[in-house]
Amino acid sequence: MYRPALKDLDAVIAISRRGSFRAAALDLDMSTTALSHAIGKLEAELGVRLFNRTTRSVSLTDAGRIFVEQVSPALQDIHSAVDTAKSQQATPSGTLRINAFATAARDIAPLVLAFLNRYPQVHIDLVTEGRLVDIVADGFDIGVRVADLVPSDMISVSLGRQQRYAVVGSPAYIKKHGKPRVPTDLLNMPCIRVRLPNGVLFRWQFEKGSQTAQIDVSGQVTLDETGIARAAVLEGIGLGFFMEQDVRDDIKAKRLVRVLEDWTPPFAGLCLYYPSRRNPSAALKAFIAMAREHAKSSNENGES
């Protein structure tokens, strides 16, 4: 009786999750050709086609959908058992997959690099993207997000540092348009609009004491990438709304002028989170412990 290999079942789940042989192959650290061959062999042994393939897309067949629905929970249980066994290891090893949005990834980079130096047998796969993902379904061990966005069924670990927004403009822009005194002044000033990963336009958020405001700004350009938005602000196209750490050096160097600072107070910082039902591996335990050390050190040193 045919018994498919565990790696072949993982391959099916990866392709289903990613919707692409190429992306799944990268996740599985194998070539697209090898992955295609493995799936073809599995389909031949099963006697059914699991995927519809065209030159532009990959989708599950009805048989494939049923197969994935039945296999996925069992695979999660198997991998959980493997993680439980690995948690008994004395020396952390293996791969940790981390998902974070770009700003958070830059913020945790010192932690990640220090961890790699301390534990040379661990490999970290850090994926940056703006959308909120289901880290369990997408095969990640750890997520990093603002505390308010951490799912309630996850175990979270504060990374210690509070966050702040910053509204900035170039000196030339400020000379031409002046400084806004209150958030509603932005309604009559050119700004860089921000599009969120879900396609929704971001309303700039402000708070001062008991007062709050969400401003739907207008301007010549709408962007969804921080680096391009920063370049547009430096060119004087409009005011920009950023995480403070992304423009802190520009403010210090006076390349950008901060405005409405009293309307952008600190808020809950980043959290590392992971599934509550999973027995963490030795590598994950070590990373969590080091994250706590890093957060404690940051707080004691007054970093923001």
DSSP 8-class letter at 185: G
> 40 to each of 1, 56, 72, 100, how far by Cα in Å?
18, 18, 19, 33
**Which pLDDT belongs to residue 254?**
97
* Domains, in order of start, for the chain: 6-86 (1.10.10.10), 94-162+268-300 (3.40.190.10), 165-263 (3.40.190.10)
pLDDT (mean) for 263-287: 85
**Which is it for the CA torsion 37, 42, 47, 50, positive or negative?**
negative
**pLDDT above 80: residue 304:** no
- Name the token pair of 292: 């706590």
Task: Give the contacts of 251 (CB within 8 A, at least 6 positions apart).
Answer: 166, 168, 257, 258
**Continuous H helices in the chain:** 6-18, 21-28, 32-46, 62-86, 102-118, 171-177, 226-234, 244-252, 282-300
Q: Note the pLDDT of residue 60.
A: 94
CA separation for the pair 158, 111 (Å, rounded) = 13
Q: 19: left (phi > 0), else alpha (psi -120 to 50), else beta?
A: left
Q: What is the largest CA-CA distance in the chain?
A: 78
List b or e across 146-182, with b for residues whose CB sees 16 or more CB atoms inside 10 angstroms.
bbeebeeebebbbbbbbbbbbbbbbeebbeebeebee
Tokens 């932690």 label which residue?
Answer: 111
Q: Write the pLDDT tens digit of every residue in 177-233.
A: 999 999 999 999 999 999 887 678 999 999 999 999 999 999 999 998 889 999 999
Task: Identify the helix (H) or strand (E) that includes residue 163.
Answer: none
Give the separation between CA 50 and CA 54, rounded to whole angstroms.
Answer: 13
Q: What is the pLDDT of residues 277-291, one digit of tens each?
A: 666 788 999 999 999
Q: What is the pTM of this model?
A: 0.60
Asked if 58 and 52 count as a contact pair (C-beta separation under 8 A), the reply is yes
Q: Which of 19-33, 81-95, 121-135, 180-194 has the highest mean pLDDT?
A: 180-194
Question: DSSP characters for 245-276?
Answer: HHHHHHHHTTSSEEE-GGG---B--EEEEEET
